[in-house]
């Protein structure tokens, strides 16, 4: 659901898994976590929050939650030990080969292996995954990926459907591709997106 490079320490991002809104964040020491994107206090999105050390705090009232999602501090009552009932629901998050994966249900299998590749960028397309597969001229494989050649470079496009008939593509390229070649792939991706979206608009 995201490239590891796009979530460095102390960064929180909003995303989705199976239509559920998530805040994914990395602690100062590098731990990745995926939680419901909602502070149990007043419903504020935690993806607007801030990371100090190993905890994530809500921007609204500064309530902070430890790595397990348990509330550990309520600034309005600095001496209070928050009741254990105050916790943010979490989902499993793992990282492999430069990609962050989350699963709302316990995953039956580990994420696919993507060796020999380097993460380039993620981009959101205003079209469902099927429309992108059609434009790329290939089906989505068992790893949830498209594997086209773009700008003459072998690419892997991991497909993440998100609500609103939109799709996020997380793109990896062969790790020996030069920066100039990677930039060419990035432009080819923009072109692919333009084609998919204009076809959708025409239809």
Tell which positions 63-122 bind other proteins, by CB under 8 A: 64, 72-82, 85-86, 120-122
Sole binder of other proteins in the list 18, 107, 183, 199 (CB under 8 A): 183
Does position 57 bind other proteins by CB under 8 A?
Answer: yes
Task: Give the H or E element holding residue 129.
Answer: helix 129-136
Does position 195 bind other proteins by CB under 8 A?
Answer: no
Contact 82, 73 (CB under 8 A): yes
d(CA 31, CA 68): 11
What strands, in cross-sheet order, belong to the sheet with 55-57?
50-52, 55-57, 64-65, 71-73
Sole binder of other proteins in the list 1, 34, 91, 168 (CB under 8 A): 168
Sole binder of other proteins in the list 30, 53, 89, 152 (CB under 8 A): 53
Biggest CA pair distance of the chain:
61
For the record, the structure tokens of 71 come out as 């509330």
Residues that bind other proteins (CB under 8 A): 2-3, 6, 8, 10-11, 13-14, 21, 37-38, 40-45, 48, 50-53, 57, 59-62, 64, 72-82, 85-86, 120-124, 168, 179-180, 182-183, 186-187, 190
């Amino acid at each position: 659901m995201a490239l590891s490079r796009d979530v460095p320490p102390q960064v929180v991002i909003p995303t989705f898994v199976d239509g559920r809104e998530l805040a994914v964040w990395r602690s100062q020491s590098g731990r990745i976590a995926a939680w419901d994107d909602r502070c149990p206090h007043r419903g504020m999105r935690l993806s607007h929050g801030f990371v100090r050390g190993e905890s994530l705090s809500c921007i609204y009232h500064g309530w902070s939650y430890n790595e397990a999602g348990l509330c550990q501090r309520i600034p309005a009552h600095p001496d209070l030990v928050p009741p254990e009932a105050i916790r943010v629901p979490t989902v499993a998050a793992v990282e492999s080969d430069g990609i962050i994966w989350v699963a709302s249900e316990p995953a039956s299998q580990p994420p696919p292996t993507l060796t020999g590749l380097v993460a380039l960028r993620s981009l959101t397309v205003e079209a469902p995954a099927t429309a992108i597969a059609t434009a790329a001229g290939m089906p989505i494989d068992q790893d949830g990926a498209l594997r086209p050649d773009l700008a003459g470079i072998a690419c892997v496009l991991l497909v993440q459907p998100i609500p609103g008939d939109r799709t996020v593509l997380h793109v990896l390229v062969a790790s020996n591709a030069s920066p100039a070649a990677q930039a060419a792939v990035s432009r080819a991706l923009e072109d692919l997106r333009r084609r998919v979206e204009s076809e959708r608009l025409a239809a």
